[in-house]
Amino acid sequence: MKELLPELDTWRQGGASAARAVVIRTFGSAPRPEGATMLVSSDGRLSGSVSGGCVEGAAFEQVERARADGKARVIRYGISDEDAWDVGLACGGTIDVLVQPFLPADVELAARELGRAVITPLPADAPGPEFGPATPAEGAAPEPALTLDAGSDSLHGTTGDHAADLELAGLAADALLRGRSRSVQVKGRSYFIESFARRPRLVVVGAVQVAIPLVALARTMGYETVVVDGRPTFATAERFPDVDQLVVGWPDEVADAIGLGPDDAVAILSHDVKFDEPAIIASLARGCRYVGAVGSRKTQSDRRARLRAAGVTDAQLGRLHGPIGLDLGGREPAETALSIMAEVVADRYGGSGAPMVERAQQV
């Protein structure tokens, strides 16, 4: 949706309004994921896609129907194997598409600002989560959406049922964490949770050799990356050509400038007390999601003693990952980077870091 905003703005400047279709559920090899959006202007222009071309024509007709009668409806489309092949899939699938007579203001605002989930109640006649044919959708007047801001556990708005609100808040928080939209069933009602998540961010303190593959790995996994180092000869664009932000300065002094906060993961790699410890103190004080620092067992013990003396609490130290990373056995820079990134991901999603074969044996 975010990528469609420039064209939406152009339409608005010309006096046109927008209705939309959005994928809310997929079965099989669907061409587009949940959250894929197509906008239709009031003068008949299209932007975006719900299927890569397979059902756009049919979806356009349903959007025009919704615009005419003011009703939202969910349409289930089956995509044939032949059509799937045309958009690069081996076989067809099925998608449920929510058609709305206008672009909801909450959705547009969330797409512009990010860090918010929008929870849309689906019409009562919407197809359920079970795969199968759907009866024709008559639709209903759109209901007010609920929203959840990243980092919050309380919805803006209510279903009228406190237990349902709590469950929806938890599901929306998970959608934001994973950056994925999805349809859910809560208390016998269907909702579409649309995630407008900010990119997760990894802040690397210390432009050392390990930082180079670590930044590359993080970027591959969709993270925004920041490298901080007080040494301009290390923190160079030649060494970090793909980093999003390169900052020369003391970690604690640039914390405000980079907006260091609870959504950040911080990897402290500099092996230098005068860099490491101010960075650890600042990261823990600001409640960063993950804080890890390199160093041997003895280094960690001595460091923790100094941090306590500097006023860091035992509760804060309990959140410090040191030594940093998972034990993968490798010692090369890229292998160390992989172990760090693996721990960052495991911490983000609450993973154990254990081999999957062990998890399977526990079931």
Angle at 344 between CA 333 and CA 179, to 5 degrees: 125
Q: How far apart are CA 184 and CA 152, in angstroms?
A: 20
pLDDT at 80: 62
Single-letter residue type at 293: A
The end-to-end CA distance of the chain, in Å, is: 39
Single-letter residue type at 127: P
**Comparing C-alpha atoms, which of 115, 107, 110, 112 is closest to residue 259?**
115
Structure tokens at 266: 């911080």
Within its chain, how far is the Cα of 48 from the centroid?
20
- Secondary structure tally for the chain: helices H, strands E: 12, 15
E strands within 290-346? 290-293, 320-321
CB count within 10 Å of CB 294 equals 21
- Establish whether the linkage from the previous residue to 278 is cis, with ω within 30° of 0: no
Max mean pLDDT among 87-96, 125-134, 238-247 falls in 238-247
CATH 3.40.50.720 residue window(s) in the chain: 201-349
pLDDT tens for residues 273-310?
Answer: 888 999 999 999 999 999 999 988 888 888 899 999 99
How high does pLDDT run on average in the chain? 90
pLDDT tens for residues 4-32?
Answer: 999 999 999 999 999 999 999 998 777 78
DSSP state of 3: G
Q: How far is CA 222 from CA 33, 340, 342, in A?
A: 17, 16, 14
pLDDT at 31: 76
E strands within the chain? 18-28, 37-41, 46-48, 73-78, 93-100, 116-121, 146-149, 182-186, 189-196, 201-205, 224-229, 245-248, 264-268, 290-293, 320-321
Structure tokens at 303: 């460091």
Residue 94: pLDDT above 90? no
pLDDT tens for residues 158-189?
Answer: 999 999 999 999 999 999 999 999 999 999 99
pLDDT band at 337 (very low <50, low <70, confident <90, very high): very high
pLDDT at 363: 59
Single-letter residue type at 246: L
Q: What are phi and psi of 133, to 5 degrees?
A: -65, 155
Q: Which CATH number fits domain 201-349: 3.40.50.720, 3.40.50.360, 3.40.50.1000, 1.20.120.340?
A: 3.40.50.720
